[in-house]
Amino acid sequence: MTGRARAKSRGRARGQETTAPGASLAQGEPAPPPDQGQLVGRGRQSAPGHFSAEAVLQISAGFQQVKLGERGGRRRDYNDGGVNTRMAMEHVKESKSGTSGEAIRLSANFFRILSRPQWVLYQYHVDFNPPMEACRLRSALLYQHEETLGSARSFDGALLFLPKRLQNKETLLHSETRMGEKVQITVTLTNELPPTSPVCIQFYNIIFRRILRMLDMQQIGRNYYNPKDPLNIPQHRLTIWPGYTTTILQYESAIMLCTDVSHKVLRSETVLDFMVNLRHKTGDERFIDICGKELIGLTVLTKYNNKTYKIDDIAWDHTPMNTFTKADKEVSFKDYYKSQYSLDICDNSQVLLISNVKRMGPAQGPPPGPAMLIPEFCFLTGLTDKMRADYTIMKDLDKHTKLEPQQRESRLNKFVSTLHMNTNAQAELDKWGLSFDRELLKMTGRVLPGERIFQGSRSYEFNPMMAEWAKEMRGVPVITSPPIDKWFMFHTRRNANEAMSLMQTLGKVSAPLGIRMQKAVMIEYDDQSESLLRALQHNVTPQTQMVVVVLSSNRKDKYDSVKKYLCVDCPTPSQCVVARTLSKPQALMTIATKIALQMSCKIGGELWSVEIPLKQLMIVGIDCYHDTLAGKRSIGALVASLNQSMSRWYSKCVLQHKGQEIMDGLKMALCGALKDYMKFNNCLPSRIIVYRDGVGDGQLHSVVDYEVSQILDCIKSMGHDYLPKLTVVVVKKRISCRLFSLVTGKVTNPPPGTVVDSVITRPEWYDFYIVSQHVRFGSVAPTHYNVVYDSSGLKPDHMQRLTYKMCHMYYNWQGIIRVPAPCQYAHKMAFLVGQSIHREPSMKLDDLLFYL
Amino acid sequence: MGLFTPALHRQRHQFVIDFVKRKKPKKVLDLGCCECVLLKQLKFHREIELLVGLDIDGVQVKKKMHGLAPISTDYLQPSYDQLRIELYQGSVTEKDARLRGFDLVTSIELIEHLTLADVELFSEVVFGYLTPEAVIVSTPNSDFNPFLPGLVGFRHSDHKFEWTRAEFKSWAMKVCLQYGYEVELTGVGQAPPGQQERVGFCSQIGVFHRLGGKERYNMFDEDAEDVFSYTLLYSIIYPSLHDNNILRRVLMCEVVYWAEKLKRRWIAEETGERDDTYDLCQAKGEGGECFRASERHVDTEETQTACGAEMKTLVDQEKGDGELFWTHSQPDSEKWRRRVSVPLAVLWCCCPKVSVLSGSVSNLRLLLMDEPGVKLSQDGSAVLLNHQEQDLDDDEEEHRADFEDSGYAEARQCPPSAEPAEDWEANV
């Protein structure tokens, strides 16, 4: 574990003794003290020699400390390498493959990497005498010996990698500095790395980045983009650069390059332009407040270097005329940019942006303070939440960026053929003895059998290709629904007609659904947020079952105030509808049906179910929402099933406090869920399956090391004789893996229910992919499931099928969704709290899906 | 080294940069560019239009050359300035016609790595053949060496010689005489107080200017045959508004942005609604004023029939149905006709960037003529925009809307099962 990864898993950092159930360091080698990991492996030497089985093991353990970087060396491992959870799970050691379903021919966005037979990467340790401080100087001195080292080499200041073996184990070289100082360099062979060693794989990634640069691609963040052929959406001042995400990793079958088409959204205006515009729109008083909300958390590019910075704050009291200390002199920002980059600052009164740069200062020196950025020189990247919520912007973006499967496939093929055509790129690969497959990886997956939907005594099938059953559900009563007797409908005078017709239609559609509904009390409110709130306060009582509010526009503040009042102050299930959606008579039936269903499940109705073959099972979904605006608070949500048919749920939201892990709060929520389960079933569940969503790249460590033990602690606290079977699954939607079906001879999306559990999975994990949803446009994205802890002994096949079944149970959509329903519920709740309520909802609503 | 602050090599580069700032050369050649450190600084000085580096060691150059590529923002906001960067592998003792006629050639700490015979060739190639307007040559001053602690012999093992001030001067004078230049001798790296007179600068620098003013080199000299002895390693053209394609693209974006903005304002005024969530105090400051003026323009244009009958009917129809449009109850057959026409003249005078980019209204029309991103009216006098791009056919809406509460935010994004397949976040 590197020092950084260690700091990430805060359980350890706080000195708590945790026994990692997933045993991330399976070799049992004692972990080094944290600061050793910081040193890019400097000083660490392991015995060289041809690699035996033990040597390989040792290498992969050693990789925890030996990391090479392009410069500076310290980077986060976004691929969650070194988490070896599979070996702790006895029942999947041999095989983690399922068996159900029919085989399907697929291709995936992976290209195999081929290296010469017997290819070995030689790792050397380089010592300088007298010692040289500057890394640049060290490489300059070393590279004076090209005739000995060859042109293929990689050196990070301490470690040297060569594709060839030097004649002797220890090579002495003599160099001279510009000042004529004689330096003796000792190059010692320390390791021979087989192609599968983690260092080698990291090394492939570095070479590959070099190659992308040769193709004149621009690096932004982790990916590379082609700026020469931009797509513009001028009405929103957006520019899109097409590019690629690339990762080279050891996958189940081979070392492969996983590459996907990616689009970078950039804004063709500077932050200063943006601020000036915003000030015109908001006026001076609200400007500071709104500007902070809009800008903080966004990433900017600067005019003078190729770095990206995240805006952490705005220095309202700083302008370009302020000074900073540079080489013991005070320089103003204005003069600095003029002299350094010949850039003139036009607006001397603009305030500055603050970015807390994470990089460390020069050796021994204090870490540098935050970077101050000049808005005039910064360009915004990505989308704000406001833009994401803007339907027209997203639609315009989709037009450019949603690629049909065959378009996507042909772009990927084009990319790899460009690699093969480019002579420079080819030369670099040759130098290291590497090459890529020319074609996308072909493989076989399985399509799980379709599920049957049960509603009380009736059940039906649906077209699995369409993955929804809205039509089939017509006229079939839901499992149960409490009668809706006492409820209100609030509307403005202008929308009185819409409200009226909504109520009539609700009456019409609810009876066939088996939902008993009395007429609502209609209440008119003035079109102002205070008067709506007043109307709610006057009318809603603890006896009120449901409140429906017809909003005149989709303005967020009104929605927020309704939700805040009815989720916290006066806990009552509520349903908001924008009048515009009710304005089309021909769509009203469909809309009213959906609203009726939603109202029903918000007050505890159960709509449908699928067959769940496991008894005494509790399924838990966890997700979090990061509120970058409100003091960077994160919100964690936990949703847990309460009955056999997975139709009732316990939901709890916790607001994270500074420096606290999201799981600390969710531990209490899980205890609450178990107690509630007890109330519903008179027993505790004998199996618990936790689906954990919202884990970022590189955070797997902390889930495995910290969260799992927190969950176990919580279970333990229920009683000493309570020993349920526990499974923890990390769910990931944002992955670059794509699957294409080759069934019809054409490249299409794989059908819902497609499972892949070999070839492109990771050998050290118990993981699988499921395509559960159907998309009408673009390419479908599979969801990745990584079982990081499992004491259930459940067969992989059953694990996969149960997961797929759970994707059928989201009551806000009569169809299959992308993640298990509890994850989507948790997401929905965290989003509502983070976006609108900003407080923990009342516990009176815990047993209801009030946030749907 | 620590003897000088800023470091000596920085001072040498700063010397060149100061020269560039003063004289504003357009074509600059750096001999012995090595890892392109000086070039990387010079590329920010956009008076330079052609920046070339030459080094005998191609591997060194290749290692760092990608650092000279344009950065993302160069593409996002292309400037008016043009810049091409080229890197060559080759020897300064050989001629290459591609490097003739530069405004400035720099040779920083280079000649001392040559044998004296090669220095002769160097002089002939640089001053006699390449014939740039100005040359900056720097080399160690051996008079200064006693002040360098611990130094025995030359400052670097690869140095073939280190000249005293007198030696440097005599070489410089000879060159001037032979090839028609005048020289000013100076340097960087001050000696300790009181010693400057005696030993001079640590690095001595000669700044040569060609005599005979601006008269160009003799292309059709006796040895006019074009020699190409260098290998081109790298060549990149920076995006510039002088490139017509880029200009049109930028202009199109600007025009569409402003036209849409004007349209929204006009519609808002027509229907008496405000389209924005920030509905406070509009029209503050300049930008707002600008809008006011332009809105009037849109109105008057349309009654003047200045832009042809077609437009008039379109806009008139607009006016008639203004309200209907908000309720979405218009028959489909009329949808195609609902267009807003924004005259180019209005755009030209209310958006400063458009006027700067295009120069004149007629030029603006010319530039937009074949641009697929913009739709012009028949006579090319106005930009046509669809009145309401938000029109969804009902079918689509029915499928998309999830009716999750309120229609705010998430509710607009299709079913959760079909979350955008494209991933924006992970890229940042």
Question: Tell me: the pLDDT tens digits for B86-131?
Answer: 999 999 999 999 999 999 999 999 999 999 999 999 999 999 999 9
Lowest mean pLDDT among A69-73, A507-511, A809-813, B120-124: A69-73
The vertex-B361 CA angle with B355 and B367, nearest 5°, equals 85
Using the predicted structure, report yes or no on whether residue B418 has a pLDDT greater than 70.
no
Q: Is A693 a catalytic residue?
A: yes
Interface contact A584, partner B, CB < 8 A? yes
SS3 state of residue B178: helix
Closest CB to B253: pick one of A232, A577, A776. A232
- Long-range CB pairs of B272-278 (<8 Å, 24+ gap) are B273/B326, B276/A281, B277/A555, B277/A556, B278/A281, B278/A282, B278/A283, B278/A286, B278/A290
Helices and strands per DSSP (H, E), number in chain B: 14, 10
Put simply, whether A387 touches B (Cβ < 8 Å) is: no
Minimum CA–CA partner of A178 in chain B: B156
In the predicted structure, residue A6 carries a pLDDT above the cut 50: no
pLDDT higher than 80, residue A97: yes
Q: Which of A278, A276, A215, A210 is nearest to A71 (CA)?
A: A210
Catalytic annotation present for A847: no
Residue A813: exposure state from Cβ atoms within 10 A (0-12, 13-18, ≥19): buried
- Residue A368 pLDDT: 66
How does the average pLDDT of chain B come out, rounded?
75
With pLDDT > 70 as the criterion, what percentage of chain B qualifies?
Answer: 71
Residue A385 has pLDDT above 80, yes or no: no
Beta strands in A303-351 (DSSP E): 308-310, 313-315, 323-326, 329-332
What is the mean pLDDT of the segment spanning A835-842?
Answer: 89
Tokens of B282: 């509009």
pLDDT of residue B397: 36
Q: Measuring CA to CA, how many Å separate A442 from each of A196, A438, A767?
A: 21, 12, 19
pLDDT, residue B380, reads 82
Q: Which residues of A touch B156 (CB under 8 A)?
A: 176, 178-180
Query: Which stretches within A109-156 are classed as H helix?
Result: 135-142, 146-149
What span, in angstroms and rounded, lies between the C-alpha atoms of A701 and B416?
A: 28
pLDDT tens profile A724-756: 999 999 999 989 999 999 988 889 999 999 999
Q: Cα dihedral sign for A483, A485, A486, A491?
A: positive
Contacts of A413 (CB under 8 A, 6+ apart): A439, A440
- The residue to which tokens 């673009």 are assigned: A778
Tell me A22's DSSP state.
Answer: T
> Looking at residues A786-796, what average pLDDT do you find?
94
Alpha-carbon span A546 to A603, nearest angstrom: 8
Q: How far is B89 from chain A (nearest CA, A)?
A: 16
A237 contacts chain B (CB < 8 A): yes
Average pLDDT of the residues in B377-383:
83
pLDDT tens by residue, A446-487: 999 999 999 988 999 999 888 999 999 988 999 999 999 999
Q: Can you give the pLDDT at residue A657? A: 75
Contacts of B314 (CB under 8 A, 6+ apart): B337, B338, B339, B340, B341
Kindly indicate the confidence band of residue B148, based on its pLDDT and cuts at 50, 70 and 90.
confident
How would residue A359 be classed by pLDDT, with cut points 50, 70 and 90?
low
Q: Which of A241, A244, A303 to mutate to test binding with chain B, by most B CBs within 10 Å of its CB?
A: A303
Cα–Cα distance between A499 and A505 in angstroms, integer?
10
Average pLDDT over residues B49-62: 90
What's the pLDDT at A634?
A: 85
Where are the strands (E) in A611-686, listed by range? 617-627, 633-641, 649-655
In the three-class reduction of DSSP (H, G, I as helix; E, B as strand; rest coil), residue B249 is classed as helix
Closest CA to A685 of A808, A610, A792: A792
Residue A116's pLDDT band, with cuts at 50, 70 and 90, is: confident
Dump the DSSP string for B191-234: PSTTTHHHH--SEEEEEEEESSTTPPP-TT-TT-S--B-SEEEE
| Residue (of B293, B131, B148, B290) closest to B216 by Cα position | B131
State the best of A136, A218, A497 to mutate against chain B, taking most chain B CBs within 10 Å.
A218
Contact A234 B257 (CB under 8 A): yes
Each residue's pLDDT tens digit, A38-80: 323 333 333 333 433 333 333 333 333 344 444 434 456 788 8
pLDDT tens digits, residue range A570-591?
999 999 998 888 888 888 998 9
Sign of CA dihedral B81, B87, B93, B99: negative
Q: How confident is the model at residue A91 (pLDDT cuts 50, 70, 90)?
A: very high
Q: Does A263 sit within 8 Å of B424, measured CB to CB?
A: yes
Tell me if chain B has a CB within 8 Å of the CB of A824: yes
**Are the Cβ atoms of B278 and A282 closer than 8 angstroms?**
yes
Q: How confident is the model at residue A14 (pLDDT cuts 50, 70, 90)?
A: very low
Mean pLDDT over the full length of chain A: 84
CA distances from A659 to A11, A210, A834, B116 (A): 12, 38, 18, 68
* pLDDT score, position B178: 94
Q: Which two tokens stand for residue A202?
A: 């990291």
| Nearest neighbour of B427 by CB, restricted to A151, A239, A264 | A264
> Residue A55 has what pLDDT?
35
Q: How confident is the model at residue A780 (pLDDT cuts 50, 70, 90)?
A: very high
Condensed to tens digits (0 to 9), the pLDDT of residues B153-169 reads 888 878 899 999 999 99
Distance CA A336, CA A775 (A): 52
pLDDT band at A126 (very low <50, low <70, confident <90, very high): very high
Q: Are A819 and A118 in contact (CB under 8 A)?
A: no
Cβ B273 vs Cβ B326: under 8 Å: yes
Average pLDDT over residues A186-213: 87
pLDDT of residue A629: 58
Rounded Cα distance between A638 and A649, Å, is 10
Q: In Å, how far are A258, A564, B346 from B349, measured between CA atoms? A: 51, 47, 5
More confident residue, A49 or A104: A104
Kindly report the length of chain B. Answer: 428
Q: Which helix (H) or strand (E) is A413 found in, with range? A: helix A405-421
Tell me the mean pLDDT in the region A215-239.
87
DSSP state of A122: E
Instruction: Give tens-digit pLDDT for B23-50.
Output: 999 999 999 998 899 999 999 998 999 9
So what's the pLDDT on residue B130? Answer: 93
Instruction: Look at residue A679 in the predicted model and tell me its pLDDT.
Output: 94
CB A703 within 8 A of CB A697: no
Is A827 considered catalytic here? yes
Chain B residues whose CB is inside 8 A of the A595 CB are 403
Residue in A282, A301, A813 nearest the CB of B416:
A813
pLDDT at A488: 95
- Checking if the pLDDT of B329 tops 70, the result is no
Model confidence at B245: pLDDT above 80: yes
Q: At what angle do helices A271-282 and B285-304 cross, to 10 degrees?
A: 80
Question: How many helices (H) and strands (E) would you count in chain A?
Answer: 24, 37
Question: Up-side HSE of residue B313: CA atoms within 13 Å toward CB?
Answer: 4
Q: Which of A260, A376, A451, A623 is catalytic?
A: A623
Would an 8 Å CB–CB cutoff place A465 in contact with chain B? no
Kindly report, residue by residue over B169-181, the tens digit of the pLDDT: 999 999 999 999 9
Cβ–Cβ gap B417/A813 under 8 Å: yes
**pLDDT > 50? residue A21:** no
**How much of chain A exceeds pLDDT 90, in percent?**
51
- How far apart are the C-alpha atoms of A766 and A86, rounded to whole Å? 5
Of A137, A227, A750, A417, nearest to B239 (Cα)? Answer: A227
Chain B residues closer than 8 Å to A815 by CB: 415, 417
Nearest neighbour of A227 by CB, restricted to B75, B152, B283: B75
**Is the bond preceding residue B25 a cis peptide, omega within 30 degrees?**
no
The shortest C-alpha distance from A760 to chain B (Å) reads: 20
Q: Show Cβ contacts of residue A296 under 8 Å, excluding neighbours closer than 6 positions.
A: A311, A312, A313, A314, A628, A629
pLDDT at B325 over 50: no
* Other beta carbons less than 10 A from residue A227's beta carbon: 24
Three-state secondary structure call for residue B381? coil
Query: Shortest CA distance to B260 belongs to which of B298, B309, B313, B296?
Result: B298
pTM for this prediction = 0.80
With beta carbons under 8 A apart, name residues in chain B contacting A576. Answer: 405-408
Give every CB contact of residue A761 below 8 A, 6+ residues apart in sequence: A96, A251, A252, A767, A768, A769
Choosing from A77, A156, A606, A693, the catalytic residue is A693
Is the CB of A70 inside 8 Å of chain B's CB atoms?
no
The per-residue pLDDT for B425 is 29
Angle, helices B308-327 vs B285-304, to 10°: value is: 120
Residue A35: per-residue pLDDT:
36
Higher pLDDT, B277 or B209: B209
Tell whether A364 is within 8 A of chain B (Cβ): no
**Is it the case that residue A245 has pLDDT exceeding 50?**
yes
Helix A529-539 crosses helix A556-564 at what angle (to 10 degrees)?
20
Give the SS3 label for residue A106: strand
Of B365 and A58, the one with more pLDDT: B365
Question: Which residue has better confidence, B307 or A285?
Answer: A285
Q: ipTM of the predicted structure?
A: 0.72
Strands (E), A479-595: 487-491, 521-524, 546-551, 574-578
Q: What pLDDT is attached to residue A643?
A: 94
Residue range B145-150: average pLDDT?
86
- The pLDDT of residue A10: 32
Name the strand (E) or helix (H) holding A454.
Answer: strand A453-455
Phi, psi (5° rounding) for residue A456? 60, -125
